[in-house]
Structure 1
Amino acid sequence: MTTVSRHVQFTARPGSGEELARLLLEVADQLRGTAGCDQYVISRGSEDPDVICVDERWSSAGDLERASAGLQDDPQVAAVLALLDPGRPVARIDGVPLGGVGDLPPARDGITHLNLLDLPDKAAGFGLGHVGEARFVTADLGLERTGVSLHHVRPGARQAFGHRHGEAEELYVVLSGGGRARVDDEFVDLAPHDALRVGPRTVRAFEAGPEGLELLAVGPRRPGDGEMLHGWWND
């Protein structure tokens, strides 16, 4: 399947831009969770507030066509059409996304199955085997939009550095053992099956208890978004 994009520019009757934007945002809410809808963003013109743009991205042309067909008899769409300026026709550009800053590549079809423990331990290669193990599995799983890594911190050890992301949030799930996380200046105790969400720009690092600490980290794939902070532990 080929990802497709659509840019649509609407012009409301004079003074009706705010109402048009409100209705289109309601249409966007209806599409939330629709199969194949990767993006549906509403923007309002800064120079002409009666100009409202919709930027869409769909996993396939078929997904776009099915969603469009489902909206044909929707009363919200009828209300949108009634607000349009008849003297300024709707402009529409259909295309195929090529990439760019902040763009997400299309996800691959099919499945990938592997055992995470079969992948190489990267910590040992960086001289950090005494601290634990780290397996970064995104490439091996063929993931395009999601980053996944498996971490094991040895009993009583701390990760050698903290790190943070500029835009991405991460979810950490404790698979076994326990310990604590330092999140900026706060300490969070961790036990098996705990889940810890860490937002962007927040520094985090982990310390294992007497049984060690095994973590699965999951977040959006954003190459170059991470920053390591060596010597961050200071207590």
Structure 2
Amino acid sequence: MALTLAGCATPAPRAPDLALRAATAVAQLRSGESPRCLATGAAIHLGEGRFVTAAHVVDGSAQRLRGTCPAGAGPLVLSVGGAPAPARLVRAGQDRIDRDIGQLYLGGEDVALVVPLRPLPSLGTATLCAGLPAAGTPALLVTPRRQHRTRLLGVVRETDSRFGMYLEIPETLAPGDSGGAVFEAASGCLAGLVSHRDEPAPGQAAQPRTRLVPAPVVARFLAATRGGTAGP
């Protein structure tokens, strides 16, 4: 009888999925007006109306590199649940474009801070991880278009130290992923934001790799912004 009752016991409640809970902090972002000048990506809410994204989505470089929109990014629009709001660029990292190696950001800061100019529907708040994750840490990639389980591969440093370091995940970068969030699965903290595709060296076999701006780099960028280096 005791064994029968034990078999009918109520199962223990499942632990909350903190990464999925954090995914509610991700909004859609676009810059530009005409279709040929449009750049799209994600923005991550850090609380108090502050959103971080990849700088190349909002600094006009995506448009300039196409050669069709020399005027730059144009208007910024944040969207949550289909509700749009105009946004303002507060500050963006500084890029360098080289004919041979392409676009890189000083200090690896492919980061920008934007704020909406009118209220948006409520959404979650992301918390930056305190440090760099261990290689192999399970994670969740979140963009306006998809949520995908993955893992963090560790840190990759640029050959030129001026351009910092990145985290990598074994995923193929899809259109609109830039600025997306990668949350640690166990804690739900923001490990990094999606920056760019890792191009293999000549002769090297191509493997899916997407580079992320690590949380400590995002934190450094935000600290400098609070320190008074923000633009008008």
Q: TM-score of the superposition, structure 1-length normalised? A: 0.23
Larger Rg: 1
Higher relative contact order (Cα pairs below 8 Å, separated by 6+ residues): 2
